[in-house]
């Protein structure tokens, strides 16, 4: 799912959520969506088509029904208020709050699916992260040795990412120009399947090749209520975003790791 600050309005989030549910269940209908949001189906249809609006109070209820995170819930209600609050003053206040989300969007850019079709191989992301290491060398051979791939793969990946403006060369150094990257959630894609399959294979290799002190593997087998799955997934995504944000703050980095709910090293030890 798109980040909330990347929608133009709350209508887009609602439409996106509806289509996401239809992707999971082809028989899921607008009537079912209206039932889940506790709204009359005709009214929901009018809202999705921008012919009716929501009140801020109703927006808060809908946000809870959607099980939105605190961040998404605030954005959703602010977006409703910016369009439908009763007074001009209130609408302007809500618009001002939305501006804060837009500023955040400049820092956190979601990698669009069209881009991801081009760079579905895991090492593109790893090369971006290599640029943050204190020992980084702008040398394809060094990068290839660090990641255990060919020099040709490194060279092609660098050209590709420069074309997509994910990488830039400044003062003879490669620089990650996107800072944060995320792949789309809950979107069926051959490219995404390829990406995750590659990393799962590397996770299997790391079990046997890396010291237990340098990696973390854990599994929890639990019984659940299936309707809680969207909520659980959102909690996992929030954890990953917080983890990445925390990792990005550190300096003197010396390794590139992968977190797939297995945590293991992607870089090789320098000799």
The overall pTM is greater than 0.75: no
pLDDT at residue number 185 = 57
Can you give the pLDDT at residue 270?
A: 61
Q: How many other β-carbons are positioned within 10 Å of the β-carbon of residue 240? A: 14
Tell me 109's DSSP state.
P
Give ranges for CATH 1.10.260 in the chain: 4-107
Adjacent-strand bridge partners of 257: 265
CATH tag, 4-107: 1.10.260
The predicted pLDDT at position 1 comes to 42
pLDDT tens track of the chain, all 271 residues? 445 555 778 998 999 899 888 887 889 999 999 999 999 999 999 999 999 999 999 999 999 999 988 888 988 999 999 999 989 999 999 988 887 766 655 544 455 555 765 668 899 989 999 999 999 999 999 999 999 999 999 999 998 888 888 899 988 889 988 655 555 555 556 777 888 888 888 888 988 998 989 988 877 777 878 788 888 888 888 888 888 888 888 888 999 998 877 665 777 766 5
The number of CA neighbours under 13 Å toward the Cβ of 257 is: 17
Q: List, as one string, the DSSP characters of 121-141.
A: STHHHHHHHHTTBTT--S-HH
């Amino acid at each position: 799912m798109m980040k909330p600050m990347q929608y133009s309005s709350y209508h887009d989030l609602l439409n996106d959520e509806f289509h996401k549910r239809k992707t999971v269940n082809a028989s899921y209908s607008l009537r079912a969506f209206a039932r889940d949001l506790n709204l009359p189906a005709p009214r929901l249809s009018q809202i999705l088509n921008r012919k009716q609006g929501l009140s801020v109070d109703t927006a808060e209820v809908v946000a809870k029904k959607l099980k939105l995170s605190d961040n998404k819930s605030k954005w959703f209600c602010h977006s409703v208020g910016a369009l439908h609050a009763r007074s001009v003053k209130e609408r302007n206040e809500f618009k001002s709050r939305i501006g804060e989300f837009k500023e955040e969007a400049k820092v956190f850019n979601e990698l669009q699916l069209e881009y991801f079709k081009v760079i579905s191989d895991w090492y593109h992301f790893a090369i971006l992260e290599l640029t943050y290491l204190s020992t980084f060398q702008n040398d394809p051979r060094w990068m290839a040795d660090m990641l255990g791939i060919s020099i040709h793969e490194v060279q092609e990946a660098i050209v590709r990412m420069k074309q997509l403006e994910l990488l830039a060369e400044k003062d003879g150094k490669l620089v990650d120009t996107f800072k944060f990257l995320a792949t789309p959630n809950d979107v069926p894609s051959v490219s995404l399947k390829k990406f995750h399959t590659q990393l799962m294979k590397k996770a299997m290799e790391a079990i046997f090749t890396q010291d237990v002190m340098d990696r973390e593997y854990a599994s929890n087998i639990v019984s659940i209520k299936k309707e809680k799955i969207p909520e659980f997934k959102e909690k996992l995504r929030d954890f990953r975003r917080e983890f990445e944000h925390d990792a990005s703050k550190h300096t003197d980095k010396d390794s590139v790791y992968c977190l797939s709910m297995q945590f293991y090293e992607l870089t090789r030890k320098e000799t």
